[in-house]
Amino acid sequence: MCGILAIIGKGVELQKAKQLSNRMNHRGPNEHDIQVTENGHILAHERLSIIDLHTGKQPIQGCSTAYMVHNGEIYNHKELRETELKDHKFRTKSDSEVIVHLYEKYGYDFLNKLDGVFAFVVIDGDDFIAGRDPIGIKPLYYGKDADDRLYFSSEMKAIADQCVSFEAFPPGHYYTPKTGLVRYYKPDWFKDSVATEELDLKLIRDTLIKATKKRLMTDVPLGVLLSGGLDSSLTSSIASRLLKEEGKELHSFSIGLDSDSPDLKAAQKVADFLGTKHHAITFTIEEGLEVIDKLIWHLETYDVTSIRASTPMYIMSKYITNLGVKVVLSGEGADEMLGGYLYFGDAPSNKEFQKETIRRVQLLSTSDCLRADKSTMSHGLEARVPFLDKEFLDVIMKTQPKYKMHETYDGVEKYILRKAFDTKEDPFLPQEVLWRQKEQFSDGVGYSWIDTLIEYCANQITDEQMSQAHIKYPHNTPSTKEAYYIREIFHKHFPQDDAAKTVLKWIPKWQENTDPSGRANKKHIKADVHIAKEKVA
């Protein structure tokens, strides 16, 4: 993974472009390079070396005049090299290079051929194309300065003070000067009416195993983020099995408050079961509060639930990179596609349940994907998310919603995922973990983390400030003192109106209490004592 910057248009000094790119140095601490094209456009790259450690430096030139920068991983790059691009001459062994060659062969129409995650810009003379992966797992922003130059960057901080207007680049789109924005990713499941497939537990299991296997592609040490919840435990179990076949050891990492963490207890149980080399990391509430300012600068959001959950993830990521691990698997996406959050249990109908899963998946780039990417990349750590594999998404999103509804199984959420991996002969997980109730990450690290954060923020913000909140912040007006405190820090780092408009707030539906914590839902039961009962499908 990396940080990319592209400036389309002449007149920006090279040193200035280097300074802007350097604001994202945390994303790529291994190599830095910059290219000024013959027409005066600029491409810059901050590299985190994951694949092809020795020759994969970017920008990369294609066979002729096109240059490219890319942030992400292309999992089918070897297949593309050996088939559609077998006549092309490659300069590197990097997975990224296939992008520029696909452009040279197909022009703009190639993004659906990519299996992976990406944000990229290809410049060819005065022509160019910028694109972002289907779900928005990798971040990308774009804007225009006062001289009509276009900017593209992995993070907002690189361009916010250079552009008179900017915004987040939409997932599943590409942009060219001839076409403007074009949506290339248009799966059938965007329509709730196509969720008509019968339940196939074996297909669910096989497809997730396949999705996890391709994400083990790396030339550097790999680990798993193991919260002890269902999603991270399953990816850890699958990865552990696959790596054992190759004689490799798997590192697992969990984090929590020493005295008050449901996740630490569950994660240790999973690690013991799988035989991973486990690292249980603890943090104090004081340490969490100390990093919030820097965290908000990294995350570029004021969404309350993102900040709550990102704090332990940010602290854990530093620990992981200090050990020399550069890639981790993470469980993002399962709750959105399967309706795993407890508020989904209040859905009024199958149709509304399905519509909400579609909406949540389409918004992942503003919430969990943003958190997973920027919390880890703040320390040069790459997070990979098997649940958001395109093929696995298709399987789950096309399955009839009645099989995903909580009420179908007496309130058990994500039942079909649990059941798919409930293999009695060769169990993937202990039963008490496989059937553990959903615990949102910010809760699972320890309930007192959120409780103390709320109390701390309440002491920093006055009632008078809250009464004037709608005047100071007319867009997404903070409704709590916690939200106001976080917004103040965000505004300090990113005072532009356009910056505030890039943020969407995570708000649960169908419940009276709109606090994003899972504990706000009436169905929540304290996690260390609650195990769901297995039902017969």
Query: pLDDT tens digit string along 484-499?
Result: 999 999 999 999 999 9
Query: Domain boundary at 165, 186, 207, which?
Result: 186
Is residue 212 domain-resident? yes
pLDDT at residue 528 in the model: 42
Domain extent for 90: 2-186
Confidence at residue 48, expressed as pLDDT on a 0 to 100 scale: 77
Local confidence band at 525 (pLDDT 50, 70, 90 cut-offs): low
The yes-or-no answer on residue 2 being catalytic is yes
Give the total number of structural domains in the chain: 2
* pLDDT above 50 for 127: yes
Residues 493 and 380 placed together within one structural domain of the fold: yes
User: Quick one: 204 and 293 in the same domain?
Assistant: yes
With respect to residue 537, please indicate whether it lies within any of the assigned structural domains: no
Is 375 a residue whose pLDDT tops 80?
Answer: yes
Q: What integer is the mean pLDDT of 326-347?
A: 95
Residue among 2, 163, 369, 457 flagged as catalytic: 2
Rg (CA), the chain: 23
Burial classification of residue 64, based on how many CB atoms lie within 10 Å of its CB (0-12 exposed, 13-18 middle, 19 or more buried): exposed
Q: Please check whether residues 200 and 94 belong to one and the same domain.
A: no
Query: In terms of domains, do 310 and 213 share one?
Result: yes
Establish if 242 belongs to a structural domain: yes
Q: Say whether both 157 and 197 belong to one domain.
A: no
pLDDT tens for each residue of 137-185: 999 999 999 999 999 999 999 999 999 999 999 999 999 999 999 999 9
pLDDT score recorded for residue 388: 98
Does residue 349 sit in the same domain as residue 489?
yes
Average pLDDT, rounded, for the chain:
92
Say if CB 135 and CB 171 are below 8 A apart.
yes
Q: What is the pLDDT of residue 96?
A: 95
C-alpha torsion angle, residues 306, 307, 311, 317 (rounded to 10): 50
Last residue of a domain, one of 186, 218, 240: 186
530 within domain boundaries: no
Mean pLDDT of 447-471: 94
Is 525 within a domain?
no
Q: Which domain CATH number covers 513?
A: 3.40.50.620
- pLDDT at res. 529: 37
290 and 439 part of one domain: yes
> CA distances (Å), 474 to each of 70, 156, 305, 465, 477, in order?
36, 21, 20, 13, 5
Q: What is the pLDDT of residue 57?
A: 83
Give the least confident one: 22-26, 223-227, 260-264, 302-306: 260-264
529 is a domain residue: no
The confidence score (pLDDT) of residue 535 equals 41
Q: What is the pLDDT of residues 54-83, one digit of tens each?
A: 777 899 999 999 999 999 999 999 999 999
Q: Are residues 388 and 469 in the same domain?
A: yes
Confidence band, pLDDT 50/70/90 cuts, at residue 532: very low
**CA atoms of 499 and 160, how far apart (whole Å):** 7
